[in-house]
């Protein structure tokens, strides 16, 4: 059976060394009394005698805790302020932030990287969805009909799609039109109320009789749909 090595407290060692320094008992008597080898008692006695001058010397001044931690807290505050400023001014798209993540980084986890970039973790784990081919076809039809009748809202656009053989509900048409950024053109409340700071220009044709060709010209802006976009 292997015996465990005994561990003695500093108080016990000091007590044994003090008894040995008095010289009233031999090392053998002390070893029998305290259950320690004579060689060990001699070693403790030498260490105890060597450390006595330090007791009467000038003790080292231990710096206060606030003196040590204050610069660290200041540096943490500066780094946090710089990180907040970087997040505010780092105007990157979600896709650009996703490309900047490194899943195999040895020290920074995905959670930490997302926090540094100001990117929700769900944006990393959730796959970007795309519209189905059926929805893309509906969006194409809605766009073509909207060019012909820009005053069609979601209700009339849904009814028109029903006439084309597409059984869709209004909520689906609303979502697709919102995704395309189009809405039916119709008078809104307060149309005669001018906006603040808006200059009201006079009507230049007021009181003018148009009696000849090319007497008045007007311009308009429109666009033509192409296969790969618009012109």
The predicted structure's pLDDT at residue 156:
95
Cα–Cα dist 144/182, whole Å: 12
Instruction: Give the count of alpha carbons within 13 A of 28, CB side only.
Output: 0
Q: What pLDDT, in 10s, does the model give residues 88-108?
A: 667 778 888 888 888 888 888
The predicted structure's pLDDT at residue 162:
95
Query: What percent of the chain has pLDDT above 90?
Result: 20
Please report which confidence band the pLDDT of residue 127 belongs to, taking 50, 70 and 90 as the band edges.
low
Cα–Cα dist 132/189, whole Å: 37
Task: Give the list of residues 6+ apart from residue 194 with CB closer than 8 angstroms, or none.
Answer: 200
Cα–Cα dist 26/34, whole Å: 12
Mean pLDDT of 35-52: 82
Q: What pLDDT, in 10s, does the model give residues 105-124?
A: 888 888 888 888 888 888 88
Cα–Cα dist 188/124, whole Å: 41
User: What are the residues facing 139 on neighbouring strands?
Assistant: none
Query: What percent of the chain has pLDDT above 70?
Result: 87
The predicted structure's pLDDT at residue 155:
95
The predicted structure's pLDDT at residue 159:
96
Of 121 and 189, which is predicted with more confidence? Answer: 121
Q: What pLDDT, in 10s, does the model give residues 136-151?
A: 999 999 999 999 999 9
Mean pLDDT of 31-41: 84
The predicted structure's pLDDT at residue 150:
92
Whether residue 1 has pLDDT greater than 60: no
Please report which confidence band the pLDDT of residue 204 belongs to, taking 50, 70 and 90 as the band edges.
confident
Q: Mean pLDDT of all residues in the chain?
A: 82
Whether residue 195 has pLDDT greater than 90: no
Q: What pLDDT, in 10s, does the model give residues 51-95?
A: 777 666 655 666 677 777 888 888 888 888 877 777 766 777 888
Per-range mean pLDDT, top range of 84-88, 178-182, 199-203, 223-227: 178-182
């Amino acid at each position: 059976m292997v015996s465990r090595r005994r561990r003695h407290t500093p108080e016990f060692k000091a007590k044994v060394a003090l008894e040995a320094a008095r010289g009233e008992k031999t090392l053998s008597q002390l070893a029998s009394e305290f259950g320690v080898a004579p060689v060990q008692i001699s070693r403790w006695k030498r260490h105890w005698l060597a450390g006595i001058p330090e007791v009467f010397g000038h003790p080292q001044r231990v710096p206060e805790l606030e003196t040590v931690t204050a610069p660290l807290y200041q540096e943490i505050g500066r780094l946090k302020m710089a990180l907040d400023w970087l997040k505010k001014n780092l105007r990157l798209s979600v896709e650009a932030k996703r490309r900047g993540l490194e899943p195999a980084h040895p020290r920074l986890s995905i959670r930490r990287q997302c926090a540094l970039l100001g990117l929700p973790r769900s944006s990393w784990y959730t796959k970007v969805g795309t519209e189905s081919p059926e929805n893309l076809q509906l969006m194409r039809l809605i766009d073509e009909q909207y060019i012909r009748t820009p005053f069609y809202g979601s209700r009339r656009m849904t009814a028109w799609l029903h006439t084309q053989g597409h059984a869709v509900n209004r909520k689906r048409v609303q979502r697709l039109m919102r995704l395309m950024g189009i809405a039916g053109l119709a008078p809104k409340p307060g149309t005669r109320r001018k906006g603040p700071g808006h200059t009201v220009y006079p009507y230049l044709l007021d009181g003018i009789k148009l009696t000849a060709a090319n007497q008045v010209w007007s311009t308009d802006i429109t666009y033509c749909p192409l296969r790969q976009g618009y012109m």
